[in-house]
Amino acid sequence: MLEALNNEIICIRNITENPMDKMKMDFHLHDNFEIYMFLSGGVRYFIEKNSYDLVPGDILIMRPDEIHKATFTSNETYERIVINFPENVLRTLSTEGNELSYCYYNRPHGEKNRLNSTDEEKNELIALFEKLIMADKYKKMWSIQLKLSIFLEIMVRINRIFSDETRITSSPLHHRSLIPILEYIDQNLDKDLSLKSLQDKFFVSGSYLCQIFKQTTGSTLHEYIIYKRISRAKQFLINGESSYNASIKSGFSDYSNFYRAFKKVTGYSPREYLRQISG
């Protein structure tokens, strides 16, 4: 059992030189929980309706249903540490009243994703992340127990930072004219969300809407809507809906378009996806 948990915790430190020349960042939509620590670079990070201009040491937490992506604001070397793990790891290591998933679920969807931590706390977490990577890389006796104990300490520290109500919450960046449109999209994924319909609904030109969305996220509004609809379809599939019903209820009018989009975003067909998550 411990070995299975150990293998499900993936911690990677990535360094990318000249990221604006080498990387095309798409929205991320995955089934695992994520801890992201920013170490260097020029990055604006978009999570659901909010954006954050990151500074070294910033820590972000994302749960599976929160769409996110990085946008580069400079060609400076981009360095980050990312930890991914499934919910069962948190559940297994939790006790009643001390759930490790607290920081993921005790907040509104797409809100409070950046931890308001001190420099000392950030440095301590960086040291723990590096120890986690080393425990995974250099396997010796009791390495599994060591890795799990380090991960457990990371989650305890993150939850304590998150649950400290005396801290002043960092404010994300907002574009006033964009927020109500994104909220409308979230609440009406099964409706007509064409550029023309959004223009008519919000009395804003389509070119301006596309421009501010691109500036905020680095991607197109159409791509965002596709990812949101796929996220909704995944939940319908998990809840027992057929692939066809999931596609219709998520706003796809054509099943073949849904099938292609689903496979592009998840890497699986709807049937393969259900097999993968149940396996």
Task: Please give the average per-residue pLDDT across 204-211, as a whole number.
Answer: 89
223 and 98 in a common domain: no
Domain edge (last residue) among 107, 134, 163: 163
Could you list the residue range(s) of the whole structural domain that residue 190 is in?
A: 179-278
Q: Is residue 174 part of a domain?
A: no
Q: Which of 19-23, 32-36, 266-270 has the highest mean pLDDT?
A: 32-36
158 and 60 in a common domain: yes
Nearest to 65 by CA among 36, 105, 99, 103: 105
99: CATH: 2.60.120.280
Q: Is residue 116 part of a domain?
A: yes
Q: Is residue 170 part of a domain?
A: no
Nearest to 229 by CA among 65, 87, 16: 65
133 and 39 in a common domain: yes
pLDDT of the residue at 101: 96
Count the domains in the chain: 2
236: CATH: 1.10.10.60
274 and 185 in a common domain: yes
34 and 96 in a common domain: yes
95 and 18 in a common domain: yes
Q: Is residue 168 part of a domain?
A: no
pLDDT digit string (tens) for 36-60?
Answer: 999 999 999 999 888 899 999 999 9
pLDDT of the residue at 279: 64
pLDDT digit string (tens) for 58-76?
Answer: 999 999 989 999 999 999 9
pLDDT digit string (tens) for 116-142?
Answer: 889 999 999 999 999 999 988 877 778
185 and 225 in a common domain: yes
